Amino acid sequence: MLVILLIIAMLVAASYFTKFTNYLTFEDFKNNSAVFKDYVHANYLLAVFYFIGIYFVVAALSVPGAFVLSIAGGFLFGTMLSTAYILAGATSGAILAFLSSRYLVGNFIQKRYKHELLKANREIEENGKYYILTLRLISLPPFFILNILAGISKLDLKSFVWTTALGILPGTLIYSYAGSNLSRIEEPGQIFSFQMLFTFFLLGVISLMPVLFHKLFKRKRRHH
């Protein structure tokens, strides 16, 4: 009951401020950054609560504005604290979407297509956590869609939580760091360098290595 009340409180608090995120762009935030900074200095704990709550809504309901919010978090709270707040909001929002998907449609689909999904479920139970981690690292598919697909699958909640938190960590750090250096950034495109995108690709490949080695080992064992 306490958890439900907390979620409702966060949604109510966030809903008041999310009306601004519908129109907030990178340029808007940069132009008004001093106003936001002053508010945080005067109301730090309340600002943290609002920030996590807004990110919770963004992650759970796929509301536009995550990129600007991440930049804003880095500017307002610093790289490390912003990363921690974003992980808290985004991961908790993802959990809500995951559980909603599982209990609203996932269980029905699993029962209705039990035999058709046997092979896929077996693969998810063995390697699902690596697939989710890879998709989080390379940001494909979109955050909200992956929450729904994971909820429909047989992936357990524990694996979903740690792969989500770990998978979004590198990008969150980069955006938060960029926000902490907001004065040096003229446009969002400056954040996305070829080296950064290539790093995400390598992280995705590395996260798949356990699956590839496991499949290779199983194939060799069959031949012997």
Percent of the chain with pLDDT over 70: 67
Q: Which residue has tokens 């519908």?
A: 22
Report CA dihedral (146, 152, 156, 162) to the nearest 10 degrees: 10
Query: Band of the pLDDT at 16, cuts 50, 70, 90?
Result: very low
In tens, the pLDDT along 81-101 reads 999 999 999 999 999 999 999
Residue 14: pLDDT above 90?
Answer: no
Percent of the chain with pLDDT over 90: 33
Among 108, 12, 14, 135, which residue's Cα sits nearest to residue 69? 14
For residues 175-200, average pLDDT: 65
In this prediction the pTM is: 0.75
Strands (E), the chain: none
